[in-house]
Copies of this chain bind each other. A is one copy, B any other.
């Protein structure tokens, strides 16, 4: 029993693109005489789909692609995922193709809905096609037979309910599967790779059944599927491990007499966490560009840590000649802002133009003077500078077709320490789900083989430089404190009193909670943020703008 794992990078809604990849992998698997090739969840349609699944003809086109896949699979069995219609509803389903024909559809118990679609890969609802499932024509079962072996199919998070299936009720039952095949599109979040492999290993050991888990890979707007497909024997030992964050293809022989090398499960560590976060945002950016056909990026370099880290990632992803930086100092910029940014650009080998915003700022102030009538400098003038920079960067973006990279981090997005339509601009945010302290960790990771980000950028106190002598710590707690408070409020969903009980100053916690609430309107006008945490602002935590709680 040879099973091939096809860890592919699909594109949401692009059936032709996905079908070609699938057929390529089928040929490859057939060429190696695999009995079965397994693809990730929803691989024909790609995902997350949101309202694409309801577009006219979309499901019909998936079925048409399935016909071509059948034709290509004359000598092999295939398990592939797509949305399937039954009655008035659409289901997230697995199609079993055997020797050139569809042998069966195996769907989730509950139809797609708008809540499931965006999140099907990470936080599925606890549905399972169990005995209570109303029968869907042609899809009441959850087991297939392939080469005389019984294979149990599990889709996404349904896996967590697999031990409740009747076939596992007693060890001597005739219907015990010879193997479990799990098909998923799991979204990257911190530590998920290690946690999930450990979980899969434990599940295989508990059930005494080999387990093949095939995950998708690739960035899809704001989520990254992380790959890391794996195979476990009936003792729960890992015998195959596919790459993280890259397409991959492997075969495994699950015959009782096969000799498979035992692999170590990866252990969680601080360094792995940073490395994976880096790879996730880099892949998120790469696919955001590639899948849309964009080839170049622009960004503003302030001389601060956030834009430095974004620039380094962008160069890694696109190459130095496709990243275009602009420095936009004002009267409030420190001397080192420009010199640090120039040194960074030199290290990265990227072009770096300088535009003084003072003349533009002055022209705005003159134009506004009849209305402002000598009123004192305020947040209006601070934000004006950020918006001039945003407008300059968008002009560069529009003129040359570079996509503008946003440089906001999660700490700033949380407390609203950024200017809407100013530094909040950008086609995609790479750091919007990473706290400031995590951005510093990324900088150290980027510098692991020598200086890319100048030490001075890492060491100096963070400042927006929108007024004289401004430091972030003037109006915010130091980031090592603020980030812990925010983590408790956001990721841990603690109340103010609960956070205080963790040893923080009540005033600081109340202040952070107030800012978090007040900045919701800014986050709701933010571009896509590559998800890396378990609670991404604007996606996993949405508060009505008009509310009081």
In the bound complex, what is the Cα–Cα distance between A17 and B353 (angstroms)? 53
Q: How far is the CB of A288 from chain B (nearest CB, A)?
A: 6
> Is A336 among interface residues, defined by CB-CB distance under 8 A?
no
- Assess A387 versus B396: contact at CB under 8 Å? Given A367-B357, A494-B56: no
Known contacts: A380-B398, A390-B421, A399-B375. The answer to whether A52 contacts B11 by CB under 8 A is no
- Point out the residue from B368, B384, B524 that lies within 8 Å of A528, measured CB to CB: B524
Which residue on chain B has the smallest CB distance to residue A398? B380
Distance between Cα atoms of A17 and B547 in the complex (Å): 11
Q: Is the CB of B364 within 8 A of A395?
A: yes
B367 x A359 contact (CB < 8 A): yes
* A198 CB–B CB distance under 8 Å: no
- Copies of the protein in its oligomer: 2
Does A473 reach chain B (CB closer than 8 Å)?
no
Q: Which residues of A contact B (CB under 8 A)?
A: 11-15, 17, 46, 48-52, 54-58, 113-116, 118, 125, 219-221, 287-288, 291-292, 326, 353, 355-357, 359-360, 362-364, 366-368, 370-372, 375, 378-381, 383-384, 387-388, 390-392, 394-396, 398-399, 420-421, 425, 427, 493-495, 498, 521, 524-528, 541-549
Q: Is the beta-carbon distance between A13 and B549 smaller than 8 angstroms?
A: yes
The reply to whether B372 and A353 form a contact with Cβ atoms under 8 Å apart is no
Please determine whether A544 and B56 come into contact, CB atoms closer than 8 angstroms. Answer: no
- Does B384 lie within 8 Å of A544, measured CB to CB? no
Question: Could you list some 25 contacts between A and B, CB below 8 A?
Answer: A11-B546, A12-B549, A14-B547, A14-B548, A50-B542, A51-B541, A51-B542, A52-B543, A54-B493, A56-B495, A58-B549, A219-B546, A220-B546, A292-B546, A357-B367, A360-B363, A363-B363, A368-B399, A383-B394, A383-B398, A384-B395, A387-B391, A427-B521, A525-B526, A525-B527
B13, B353, B383, B527: which contacts A547 (Cβ < 8 A)? B13
List the B side residues contacting A359 at CB < 8 Å. 363, 366-367
Contacts of A50 in B (CB 8 A): 542-544
How far apart are A540's CB and chain B's nearest CB, in angstroms? 8
Bound form: Cα–Cα A427–B420 in Å: 11
A122 and B219 alpha carbons, distance in the complex (Å): 33
Cβ distance A220 to chain B, nearest Cβ, rounded Å: 6
Residues of B within 8 A of A528 (CB): 524, 545
CB pair A360–B367 under 8 Å, yes or no, is: yes
Known A363-B359, A391-B387; judge A221-B544 contact (CB<8 A). Answer: yes
CB–CB B399/A372 < 8 A: yes
* Shortest Cβ distance from A364 into B: residue: B360
Q: Which of chain B's residues have a CB closer than 8 A to the CB of A355? A: 367-368, 370-371
